[in-house]
Every structure is written in structure tokens, then in C-alpha cells.
Structure 1
Amino acid sequence: MNAMQKASAQPRLTNLTRFFVPIAAILVFAVWFSFAPPGLLGKADAVGYAICHRIGERSFHIGERQLPLCARCTGEFFTAGISLLFFALASPRKSGMPGWKLGAPLLFFLVAFGIDGTNSYLYLLKQTSGGALENIPNLYIPNNILRLFTGSGMGIALASILYPAFNQSAWRDVDPGRALDWKKLGILIGIVLLMDLAVLTESSIVLYPIAILSVLGVLALLIMVFSMVWVLIMRQENEFTSLKEMWLPFLAGLTLAFLMITAIDLLRFQLTGTWGGFPLG
């Protein structure tokens, strides 16, 4: 196929996707909605079920009801959602990566997340397995406070990388400036710290919106990633000038996100037979 044929084929492909993607979105969402647990928090559970172990002992609760995500994932994804919104308001269309100096605190967040996650997993093995695994050493006794804070740090790091990467791939009039600077990082850490402290009160007034916000954070990250993939597949990099023009990549990203969630939900439920956390012991 020569260059002229490729150029003429692209509009036809775009027109086809404008027809088929909305249909696929409706079908995928309908399938997921039909088997997900009832109610708003039930649907939130079904999203969390696809990306989180949802072990009750490692989660915050509203009364007897477990949040859709564990403490670590709650911190990670509500923070990612807040961070993306913050960047959209404070750094519109900025595409510059943090750089080495700003990368240092982000790397610290990543390392802290990894250390606490590994230590927590080893402690879980010690609790649920017998034999030699009972002698696994631990750096410290893991707890939900550390899970929340290290998850929140990871959320900031994820958003700080994904936001400029998305802008680099989407916008025609992209701003080459850095999305994150020291002042913005300080403000963002302050906002997240206050929200984390509010979560630790375990007040239902706080946990209800945090539960929804954390799930929206999951969806925001997945939609952005899959939208970028769609833009690359369709060879539409740097062709968009407004969010309105991005409706098809966003809808495709949403469809792919729910397709992934649906597949994982069905497989996990088939294996475990429960919408709760992974069975232990």
C-alpha cells in the first residue's frame, strides 16, 4: 500500500471506529453491569475486584462494610485521581517530565511503596503458611497507616509521569513546560497528607467519598493509558486541540478499561466464588 492509499484508508478507518466503538462500549458496559454487585458501592467493589486483593484485614471499613480497595490501593488511586485533577488545573497541557531533581522524591515514593509492599506480603506469607515460611524475617509489623501513606506516594508518582506522557501523545499545541515543579509538589503533598489524615479518622463521612474517589482514580488511570494506546494504534498522535475532539479515544479507552475489568472479574469470581478478598489459609 502506497502513501496515497494509506492516506485515503485512514479516514475510512476513523469513520468505522466512530460507529463500532460506541456499540462496543455499550455492550461491554452492559455485560459488566449485569453481573457486578448491586448498588453504587457494589459497582465500586467490582472495579476494585479487578485490581486489588481486597483482603479485609488490610482495608478500611465503613462500619462492617469493606471499602472497594485495600488501604494501599485506596491511597494510591484516590491520590492518583486527585493528582491528575490538580495537574489538569495547575499545569494544563504541560508535557515536560519531572527531571532528575524532581525525580528523586518520586523515586523515594516508589521505593517506599516497594519496601512496604514486600514487607507486608512476606508478613502475610508468615501468617498464612506453615513450615519454613513462618521464619521469614520482617523489617517491621505492617499496618494500614503505612499502607495508606506509601500508596499515596505511589499515586503522586504515577500521576506525575502519566499526565505529561498523555499530553505528549494527545495535543497538537502541547506545552513543553514541566507539569510538576517543587511548589506544585509541595502543594500536592500537603493536600494528600490532609486527606490521608482524614481517612485515618475512619469516619464514614470521609470514607464514603474516598471509596468512590479511589475507584474513579482507577478508571482515570486506565482510561488515560488505553486512550494513549488507541491514539498510537490509530496513528493520531498530536492531532487533537480540545477535549471535545478526544471523545473517541476516551470512549475507546473506557471500553478497553471495562473490557479488562470484566475479564478479570469473571475469571477471579470463577476461581474464588466470592466478591470478597482472596481466601487466606
Structure 2
Amino acid sequence: MRNSPRLKTAAKLLLIAAILALLVLWLRFTPPGLLGKADAVGYAVCHRIDLRSFHLGSRPLPLCARCSGMYLGALASAIYQLRKGRRGGLPPRKLWLPLGLLGLAFAVDGTNSYLHFFPGFQGLYEPNNTLRLISGTGLGLLIPTLLLPAFHQTAWAELDPRPALDSWRSLAGLLLAGAGVVLLMLSGNPLILYPLALLSSATVLAILSTCYGLLVLIVVRGDGQARSLRDLWLPLVVGFAIALLQTFAIDWLRLTFTGTWNGFKL
């Protein structure tokens, strides 16, 4: 029993060393440069079809138009809601319909866009990247609305049971944040698109790391005990490692079958 704290410390150090080794391997395996790393993250979660992506100069962004909107919308929504602190409640029922319409718009536009892969299909309307961006951003706004309450309820020993989105006014603010994402993406300004490209890929890893970190907390029965972020650093770092391993595995499989880091060809 006397050696237990030392063993725990040694186990943590070994775990951190393994995670650092995984990170080094991922950095060496993926394309060079910041955008190359962002491409590698997008490669694991997105088709990255050139025609369905916005471009930074002649190169497509790391995520397609819909995925760019989704993850940037999620980032904007998370920042907007986190400013209210550890609120762990779901939105009131009066907001369920407009929030549900965001998800429905994503499903309708995504299905319509997918069906245009098939020759001769007319579809409900002609899809385009602006609509993909808007519908993706709408779903992105919805993701933290569900994920953040789950995080707060799982992680913290003490939390505010009120919802972050608690009124029509707060919903309007969220929609304005989403509109800001859309306008920034449609600006086409390389000075704006470059950081947005990096942020969209970083948000992919952040969402995956959070989800896996919550699973780690539940598995080790550490849920409902944290009082500060210092109490969560280890499960979140492990969650990040799992997220990195997932992208590593999918990238390797996709690269093996396609032989290229480029997106799928139509």
C-alpha cells in the first residue's frame, strides 16, 4: 500500500509517454504543415470532395462545405454557451421545435445533395455549397446544446441545473453566432479562411476528445467528482489520445485503399 502513490505516478508517466509517442507518430505520418495536419483530421471524418468544398486559393479546405459549417458552428455554439458557466440543463421545450428544425434542415439538404450522386436524379432542388454550409452550421449549433449538458452532468461535482439556452433571446443570439460563421466562410478572404480551416479541424479533435474523455470518466467511475479543469486533465488527455488513434487508423485505411491524401473524386 505504501508504494501505491508511486505506482499511480509511474502509471501516469507511462501513459503520458505513450500518448506523446502516438502524437509524434501521427505528426510524422500526416502531410507536412499546419494545413497538412488539418487535412489529415478532415481526411478521417469527411469525404473532402473538391467540388463540394470551399477553397483557399487553389486548394480545398480540410473539410467540405457542410462539415466546415458543422464544426465551426459547433465551435461558435460552444463558446456562446460556455460563457454562462457550468449549466447542465437541456433547453426548455418551447425551443425544441426551432432546434429540431436545424437538424431537419441538415437531414433534408444532406439527403438531397447525396441523391444527386445518382445520374438522372432531379432532386428537390439543385444543391450548392452555400446551402451545404448553412445546413451544416445549423447542425453544428445543435451539437453543443446536447454535448455540453452531458459533459457538465458527467464531469462536475457541482453544476448549475439551468440550461444555457433558456429563452428565445438566447436562441436568437445562437442563431446570430451561426450567421456570423456563414458570413465569414462566404467572405472568401484567405486571411479569414486560413484560421477557420485550422479551427474547424481542431474542433473535430476537441469534440472527439470530449466524448471519449467522458467515456473514460464513466469507465473509471470518476464521474461527478471534478471541481476544476485540473481534475479533468487526465481523462481529457486520454480522450484526445483515443481521438488521435481513431483519426490515425481511419487515415491509414483510407490512404491504403485510395493511395492519396486528396478527397474522393466524383
What TM-score comes out, normalization by structure 1 length?
0.89
**C-alpha distance in 2, partners of 1:152/1:14?**
43
Match of 1:21 in 2: 15
Match of 1:4 in 2: none
Question: After the TM superposition, which of the residue ranges 22-31 and 114-123 deviates more from structure 2?
Answer: 22-31
Match of 2:173 in 1: 187
**C-alpha distance in 1, partners of 2:236/2:261?**
28
Secondary structure class of the residue paired with 1:95: strand
**Aligned partners of 2:69 and 2:181 also within 8 Å:** no
**C-alpha distance in 1, partners of 2:173/2:43?**
31
Question: After the TM superposition, which of the residue ranges 20-29 and 62-71 deviates more from structure 2?
Answer: 20-29
How large is the Cα RMSD of the aligned pairs? 2.0
Match of 1:50 in 2: 44
What amino acid is the match of 2:107?
Answer: G
Secondary structure class of the residue paired with 2:157: coil
Residue-pair matches, total: 264
**C-alpha distance in 1, partners of 2:232/2:200?**
24
* Of 137, 140, 143, the match for 1:158: 143
Match of 1:3 in 2: none
What amino acid is the match of 2:162?
Answer: G
Question: After the TM superposition, which of the residue ranges 50-59 and 18-27 deviates more from structure 2?
Answer: 18-27
The answer to whether residue 90 in structure 2 is matched with residue 107 in structure 1 is no
Give structure 2 stretches of 5+ with no counterpart: none
**Aligned partners of 1:272 and 1:279 also within 8 Å:** no
What amino acid is the match of 1:94?
Answer: R
Q: 1:42 to 1:138 in 2, by over 3 A?
A: same
Deviation at 1:19, TM superposition (A): 3.0
**Aligned partners of 1:24 and 1:255 also within 8 Å:** no
Match of 2:234 in 1: 248
Give structure 1 stretches of 5+ with no counterpart: 1-9, 127-133
Identity %: 44
Match of 1:5 in 2: none
**C-alpha distance in 2, partners of 1:17/1:96?**
36
What amino acid is the match of 2:164?
Answer: A
Match of 1:140 in 2: 125
**Mapping for residues 44-123 of structure 1, pairs under 5 Å:** 44-89=38-83, 91-123=84-116
**C-alpha distance in 1, partners of 2:245/2:14?**
15
**C-alpha distance in 2, partners of 1:105/1:260?**
33
**C-alpha distance in 1, partners of 2:106/2:221?**
35
What TM-score comes out, normalization by structure 2 length?
0.94
**C-alpha distance in 2, partners of 1:169/1:21?**
23
